[in-house]
Each structure stands twice: as structure tokens, then as C-alpha cells.
């Protein structure tokens, strides 16, 4: 195993940029989602109390709940703790799951399901966030003039169509504007809050967590309902963890403590003081903080902020889909890179289409942010609970903590998140079934694909011939020996020590064997990036046979052509123009006795039909590929 090139570094570009630049980028991308929560979170939390008038006790209790929810869940759990639980610099639910699979053998199924549940819920969040955020921003037009009300829904649909249609162009051209716009947004939010804190200085008592505890303990069932709205303040925390690899821990932490958290806290305090002074402002406290002349500019800025927040969560969904593909949870889908310098900027057409359809259905079905807010929260809280479960095992297995110490640290957060999840589950009949349904469908698909692939491998193993035994047999002198032809043949296989099925089919049908034969296995590691010096392993098996193993991280695209260039530099001799790549193509046929239920059989076969051509996925030279098909009963 060798190479003449230096090790690749995914974060090389990141390391070369200054901390202020990275902090500004983190403000624009990482905190776009959580930064737009003030548009609707406090308004929705006040709604259950508005029928009989909002009391100062309720306002202070709610603001206290929001501030301490931000402190405990975002600051403590994510910013201070989970950002340190990285997998070679990468974060997110699937990165944490991949990290655990290196260490855990017992109860692996539990963590597998926790990982795919968290991933599925995040995708559900990626559908609801753009719909809710953009509707909340555009609804501010109603305050400019009621005559604009009929245009809110068409504008939201038009903006979503435009947003998803430009995804294929990538974010490289506009990402430089994200940071400054979001920084301006946070400054405007902070100034809006500061301008009203003096309306009633008693709002500062909300900094005492006792008011939050007292509110929950006396609010009864209504308090549990309100908790579902309070949790809207921390939407985007999972995206914060998922974006760790793009900016690194320090810039994300600096952005939170210097800009984001102070701005959010000041804005919520200002909204609370405004409602204490004028309870009628509870109908839309965010926009009513600003003078009438400033409402239209703030609506425009809020709309820009929500588009950025939507872009961030969509990009996160693309990244998560790529991780799921490489970890074997989804079939190989087309992945397009939209930047020559930033490997994190990708476009997955299939995921983009699914998200667009989902967002448009949500906007047209619910029609307003008030109605859509009832569907929000379950996906976020559920994903957070799954992350906490994985973090528990991470601390025990990877960090070596005892079970008692781990439980003592995480139990309070786990209980708090379960309470929030319970509160959001009360909204099932009011629209909460939407994210649950989305997550259930995605979970079923990932589980089915994982089971189906395992079954295919088991069936293939029964007919497999050990590679060394095959080589000994084929190289014996015989009257029926295959015809020897010049050139090199590279046979792709998923099991490196077994004879590739496509090689056996080539012998069976064509009766030829090349001068040089390479058995190629492409392996996806459970770390994000594999350095170039660890990219390949070359094993000489005989005069005519070589085994080649290529290793890629789950955040990388398996570019076989590029990797073969490194192999040639290391001594693997072949001429690309006289080399043929043999790829097997399987057509699956359902069998009721295969081990999968009939419905799962059909789902697996349908998902297999969406998989991208292996030659495209592995970036093989198209004019050198030979495909041989076979049918397999599953």
C-alpha cells in the first residue's frame, strides 16, 4: 500500500481560513434554522392562553422556559458536548452511528434503529422547516396591508419552487452572502428586543429558572401542550451538529456564544416585555416589536433569513442521504458535486424532488404557519432523543465512562427531551401525524434496503467460490482452458476473497481470460475521509491475478478512475485503453419464500430500480465498461 501523493485533507480549505471568516460562515449556514424560530415560537406558545387573556405570570414563565431550553439543550448538549463527539471531524446522527459501529458488537441492532430513526426524522424536519419558516416570514405582509393576504400562499409556493429549482446550481455562488445576511438578521433581532425590554423590566426575572419550573408545575395539561410550542425555540440544533465537518468546533461555538445566543435571548426578552406592556401584541409579537415603517424591510430580511435557513436544512438532507447511501441504508443514488473546492456542497436530484413535493404538499395542505406549527416539533424532538441514546453509548464505549456517570450526565437531558417529545405527541391529531408518517416511511425504506442487501449477500455466498481455489483451478493446464486474450480486465465485487460472479459469467459465456485480471473491491469505511496513503491495498495472487481493495470514507465519492491513477504510480501496471471494466447487473425477482414479506420484497425491488448505474456511481470510464446481467430470486 503506497502512493506518491500527499494525504488528502477534507478540511484543508477550512484550516486555511481565519477564525472570523469561519464564524461568519457558521452564522449563515449552521444557525439559519434556529435563528428564525423567534418568528413563531413565542407566538405559538402564547396561543393556548389568549382566549382568556395573557397574564404576566404566563409571559415570564414562558420566556424563562424558552431561555433555559436554549441553555440546556443547545448550549450544554450540542455546543459544549456533542460538538466534541465527532467522527474524524464529522458530526450528525449517522456519523455518531458509524463511530459506534467501530466499537459496538452487542446490542448493535438497537443503535442501528436509533440511527435510522434519527436520520428519518431529520429528513421529515427538512420538509417542514422550509414550509413553516417561509410562511411565517411572508405572513408579515399582512401587517403591512391586509390586502396582501391572498398573495401569501402563492408567494410561498413560488419561492419554494425557485429555491428547489436552483439547487442543481449549488450554493457556492451565494454562500458568501449567507453569513452577512444572517449576521444582519441577528443584529436586527437583538435591536428589536433591546428596544422593548424597557417596556417592562420585570421580564428580567425570567432569567431565574424557578419561574420556568413553577410555570410547568402549575400549568397542568395546558402546560404540556405549551411545551410543544416552546420546543420550537431549539429547532435546528440537530443541523448544528450535522454541520460540524463544514466549519469545525471552535467557529460554531464562537458564533453561538458571541452572536447567536445573545441575539436570541434579547429578542425573546423583548417580545416578553412587549406582551407584558400590551397583551394585544400576543397575536404577532415578533413583527409588532418594530415600528410600522420598518415592518416591510424586516419582512424582506426575515424572508431572506428563512430562505437561508431552508437552504441549510436542504443541504443537510443531501449530506445525510449521501452518508446513508455509503453506510448501506439506501440504494446508490446520483450525487452531483456543485463545487470544485468544497466536497460538502452536493446535489442529490432524487432527494431534492422528494423534498420539493413534500414541502409543496405541506404548504397547500396547511395554508398558514399557525396551522403548520402544530405539525412541527415531533421530528425535531424525536431526532434529539435518538441522538441522546447514541451519545449514551458513545460516552461508555468510546470515552470509557461508567454507566452510572453517563446516566448521571445524560439522564436530565434525556428526561427533558422525553417530556418535550410527549408534549409534541399531543399534536398528533392536529398535524403531528405528518412528520411521524414521513419518518415511518423513510425508516421502512432504510430497514428494507438493509435487510434486502443482507439477504442478497447471503444468497450470493452460497454460490461463491473462494478466489484462490478458482485461480488454482483455472491456471491448471487443461484442454478446456479459456482462450487467453491480451489486455487487462477489472472485475468489480463486493466480497474480495470470493470469485466475482461477473468473472464466472464472462468465462461461461465468452470462454476467455485476459492476460491480467484484477479483482476490485470498493470498501466504504466508517470514517468520513480516508487519506490517499491508505486509499488502496494491492495483493498479488498469481502471475495473472491481482486483488485490489480501494477504501473511501462515507463522506467521499468513490472515484475509482482517480484511485487507479494512484495504483499505477504505486506499481500496478496496466494501460487504461486496453483495460475493460466488468460490472454485474442483477435483476431481482420476488419469491414469497425468500425470507422477506411479500410487501418488503416488492419495496426492495422497486428501490433497486432507482439505484444509479454502478459505472456512474464508481466513476468508471464509460467507453471501457462491459455489463453482464443475471437474475436473482429474493
Answer whether 299's CB lies under 8 Å from 287's CB: yes
Q: Sign of the CA dihedral 182, 183, 187, 190?
A: positive
| Distance between CA atoms of residues 439 and 426, nearest Å | 17
Q: Is 132 buried (19+), middle (13-18) or exposed (0-12) by CB count in 10 A?
A: buried
Mean per-residue pLDDT, 570-577 = 83
pLDDT in tens, 103-160: 766 666 778 888 888 888 888 888 888 888 888 888 888 877 778 788 889 999 998 9
Can you list the positions of beta strands (E) in 525-606?
A: 536-540, 545-552, 579-589
Query: Long-range contact list for 12-21, CB < 8 A, 24+ apart?
Result: 13/341, 13/342, 14/246, 14/247, 14/248, 19/250, 19/251, 19/254
Q: Answer with the one of 385, 417, 451 that is the final residue of a domain.
A: 451
Please report the pLDDT score of residue 510 as a whole number.
Answer: 86
Do the domain assignments include residue 457? Answer: no
Do the domain assignments include residue 376? Answer: yes
Q: Is 533 buried (19+), middle (13-18) or exposed (0-12) by CB count in 10 A?
A: middle
Answer whether 338's CB lies under 8 Å from 172's CB: yes
Q: Sign of the CA dihedral 30, 31, 32, 34?
A: positive
Q: What is the CATH number of the domain that holds 270?
A: 1.20.1740.10
Looking at residue 90, the DSSP 8-state letter turns out to be: B
pLDDT in tens, 373-418: 777 778 888 889 999 999 998 898 888 899 999 999 899 899 989 9
Examine the domain organization and report whether 62 and 112 are in the same domain. yes
Please report the pLDDT score of residue 281 as a whole number.
Answer: 92
pLDDT in tens, 515-556: 999 999 998 887 778 898 899 999 999 989 999 999 998 778
pTM: 0.78
Do the domain assignments include residue 5? Answer: no
Please report the pLDDT score of residue 211 as a whole number.
Answer: 93
Does residue 607 surpass a pLDDT of 70?
Answer: yes
Please report the pLDDT score of residue 479 as a whole number.
Answer: 66
Host H or E run for residue 488: strand 483-493
Do the domain assignments include residue 4? Answer: no
Examine the domain organization and report whether 556 and 445 are in the same domain. no
Does residue 463 surpass a pLDDT of 90?
Answer: no
Please report the pLDDT score of residue 227 as a whole number.
Answer: 87
Q: Answer with the one of 451, 475, 505 that is the final residue of a domain.
A: 451
Examine the domain organization and report whether 440 and 481 are in the same domain. no
Examine the domain organization and report whether 593 and 480 are in the same domain. yes
Examine the domain organization and report whether 88 and 35 are in the same domain. yes
pLDDT in tens, 483-508: 889 999 999 988 888 898 889 888 88
Most confident of 63-72, 407-416, 579-588: 63-72
Q: Which pairing describes strands 536-540 and 545-552: parallel, antiparallel, or unpaired?
A: antiparallel
Answer whether 142's CB lies under 8 Å from 371's CB: no
Decide: helix, strand or coil at residue 539.
strand
Examine the domain organization and report whether 41 and 148 are in the same domain. yes
Examine the domain organization and report whether 136 and 85 are in the same domain. yes
| Distance between CA atoms of residues 402 and 408, nearest Å | 10
Answer whether 383's CB lies under 8 Å from 93's CB: yes
Examine the domain organization and report whether 528 and 439 are in the same domain. no
Do the domain assignments include residue 459? Answer: no
Quickly list DSSP for 405-439: HHHHHHHHHHHHHHHHHHHHHTTGGGTTHHHHHHH
Q: How far is CA 611 from CA 511, 617, 629, in A?
A: 30, 9, 15
Examine the domain organization and report whether 476 and 418 are in the same domain. no
Do the domain assignments include residue 6? Answer: no
Examine the domain organization and report whether 443 and 495 are in the same domain. no
Do the domain assignments include residue 614? Answer: yes
Would you place residue 343 in the very low, low, confident or very high pLDDT band (cuts 50, 70, 90)? low
Report the percentage of the chain scoring pLDDT > 90: 34
Would you place residue 1 in the very low, low, confident or very high pLDDT band (cuts 50, 70, 90)? very low
Examine the domain organization and report whether 524 and 439 are in the same domain. no
Please report the pLDDT score of residue 199 as a whole number.
Answer: 95
Q: Which residues contact 237 (CB under 8 A, 6 or more apart)?
A: 34, 73, 74, 77, 78, 380, 384
Examine the domain organization and report whether 435 and 567 are in the same domain. no
Answer whether 222's CB lies under 8 Å from 40's CB: no
Do the domain assignments include residue 297? Answer: yes
Q: Answer with the one of 389, 417, 451 that is the final residue of a domain.
A: 451
Mean per-residue pLDDT, 585-596 = 77
Would you place residue 14 in the very low, low, confident or very high pLDDT band (cuts 50, 70, 90)? very low
Q: What is the count of structural domains for the chain?
A: 2
- Which residue range(s) make up the domain with 40? 18-327+338-451
Does residue 344 surpass a pLDDT of 70?
Answer: no
Most confident of 34-38, 104-108, 166-170, 583-587: 34-38
Query: Which residues partner with 484 through β-bridges?
Result: 513
Q: Give the mean pLDDT of the chain.
A: 85
Mean per-residue pLDDT, 75-100 = 85
Helices (H) and strands (E) in the chain, counts: 26, 8
Does residue 7 surpass a pLDDT of 70?
Answer: no
Host H or E run for residue 393: helix 378-397
Would you place residue 200 in the very low, low, confident or very high pLDDT band (cuts 50, 70, 90)? very high
CA dihedral 91, 97, 102, 108 (to 10 degrees): 170
> Minimum mean pLDDT among 84-98, 176-190, 283-297: which range?
84-98
Amino acid at each position: 500500500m503506497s502512493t506518491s501523493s500527499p494525504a488528502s485533507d477534507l478540511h484543508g480549505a477550512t484550516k486555511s481560513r481565519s477564525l472570523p471568516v469561519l464564524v461568519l460562515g457558521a452564522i449563515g449556514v449552521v444557525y439559519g434554522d434556529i435563528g428564525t424560530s423567534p418568528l413563531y415560537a413565542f407566538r405559538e406558545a402564547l396561543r393556548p392562553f389568549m382566549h382568556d387573556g395573557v397574564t404576566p405570570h404566563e409571559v415570564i414563565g414562558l420566556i424563562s422556559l424558552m431561555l433555559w431550553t436554549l441553555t440546556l439543550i443547545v448550549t450544554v448538549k450540542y455546543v459544549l458536548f456533542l460538538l466534541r463527539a465527532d467522527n474524524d471531524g464529522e458530526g450528525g446522527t449517522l456519523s455518531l452511528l458509524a463511530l459506534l459501529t467501530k466499537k459496538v458488537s452487542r446490542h448493535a441492532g438497537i443503535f442501528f434503529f436509533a440511527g435510522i430513526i434519527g436520520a428519518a426524522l431529520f429528513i421529515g424536519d427538512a420538509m417542514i422547516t422550509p414550509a413553516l419558516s417561509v410562511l411565517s416570514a411572508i405572513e408579515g405582509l399582512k401587517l403591512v396591508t391586509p390586502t396582501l393576504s391572498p398573495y401569501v400562499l402563492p408567494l410561498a409556493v413560488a419561492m419554494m419552487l425557485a429555491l428547489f429549482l436552483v439547487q442543481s446550481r449549488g450554493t457556492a455562488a451565494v454562500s458568501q452572502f449567507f453569513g452577512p445576511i444572517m449576521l444582519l438578521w441577528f443584529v436586527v433581532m437583538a435591536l428589536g428586543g433591546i428596544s422593548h425590554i424597557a417596556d417592562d423590566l420585570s421580564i428580567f426575572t425570567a432569567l431565574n429558572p424557578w419561574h420556568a419550573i413553577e410555570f410547568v408545575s402549575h400549568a397542568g395539561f395546558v402546560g404540556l401542550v405549551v411545551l410543544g410550542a416552546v420546543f420550537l425555540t431549539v429547532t435546528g440544533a440537530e443541523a448544528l451538529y450535522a454541520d460540524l465537518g463544514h466549519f469545525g468546533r471552535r467557529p460554531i461555538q464562537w458564533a453561538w456564544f458571541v452572536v447567536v445566543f445573545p441575539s436570541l435571548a434579547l429578542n425573546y426578552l423583548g417580545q416578553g416585555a412587549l406582551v407584558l406592556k400590551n397583551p394585544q401584541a400576543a397575536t404577532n409579537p415578533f413583527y409588532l416589536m418594530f415600528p410600522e415603517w420598518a415592518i416591510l424591510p424586516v419582512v424582506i430580511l426575515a424572508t431572506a433569513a428563512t430562505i437561508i435557513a431552508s437552504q441549510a436544512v436542504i443541504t443537510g438532507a443531501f449530506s445525510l442521504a449521501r452518508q446513508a447511501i455509503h453506510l448501506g441504508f439506501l440504494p446508490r443514488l446520483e450525487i452531483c458535486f456543485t463545487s470544485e473546492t468544497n466536497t460538502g456542497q452536493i446535489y442529490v436530484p432524487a432527494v431534492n424532488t422528494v423534498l420539493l413535493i413534500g414541502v409543496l404538499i405541506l404548504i397547500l395542505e396547511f395554508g398558514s404557519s399557525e396551522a403548520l406549527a402544530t405539525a412541527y416539533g415531533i421530528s425535531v424532538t424525536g431526532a434529539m432523543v435518538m441522538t441522546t441514546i447514541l451519545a449514551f453509548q458513545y460516552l461508555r464505549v468510546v470515552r470509557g465512562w461508567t454507566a452510572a456517570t453517563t446516566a448521571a450526565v445524560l439522564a436530565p437531558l434525556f428526561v427533558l427531551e422525553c417530556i418535550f417529545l410527549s408534549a409534541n405527541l399531543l399534536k398528533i391529531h392536529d398535524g403531528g401525524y405528518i412528520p411521524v408518517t414521513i419518518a415511518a416511511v423513510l425508516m421502512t425504506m432504510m430497514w428494507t434496503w438493509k435487510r434486502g442487501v443482507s439477504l442478497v449477500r447471503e444468497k450470493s455466498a452460497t454460490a461463491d467460490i473462494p478466489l484462490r481455489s478458482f485461480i488454482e483451478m483455472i491456471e491448471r493446464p487443461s484442454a478446456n482452458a479459456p482462450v487467453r486474450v491480451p489486455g487487462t480486465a477489472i472485475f468489480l465485487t463486493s466480497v474480495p476473497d470470493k470469485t466475482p460472479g461477473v468473472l464466472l459469467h464472462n468465462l461461461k459465456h465468452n470462454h476467455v481470460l485476459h492476460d491480467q485480471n484484477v479483482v476490485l473491491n470498493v470498501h466504504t469505511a466508517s470514517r468520513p475521509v480516508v487519506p490517499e496513503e491508505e486509499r488502496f491495498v494491492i495483493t498479488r495472487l498469481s502471475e495473472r491475478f491481482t486483488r485490489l481493495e480501494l477504501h473511501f470514507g462515507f463522506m467521499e465519492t468513490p472515484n475509482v478512475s482517480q484511485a487507479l491513477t494512484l495504483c499505477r504510480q504505486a506499481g500496478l501496471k496496466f494501460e487504461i485503453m486496453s483495460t475493460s471494466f466488468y460490472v454485474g447487473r442483477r435483476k431481482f425477482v420476488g419469491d414469497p419464500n425468500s425470507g422477506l414479506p411479500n410487501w418488503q420484497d416488492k419495496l426492495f425491488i422497486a428501490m433497486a430500480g432507482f439505484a444509479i448505474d454502478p459505472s456512474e456511481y464508481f466513476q468508471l470510464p464509460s467507453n471501457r465498461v462491459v455489463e453482464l446481467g443475471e437474475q436473482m430470486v429474493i
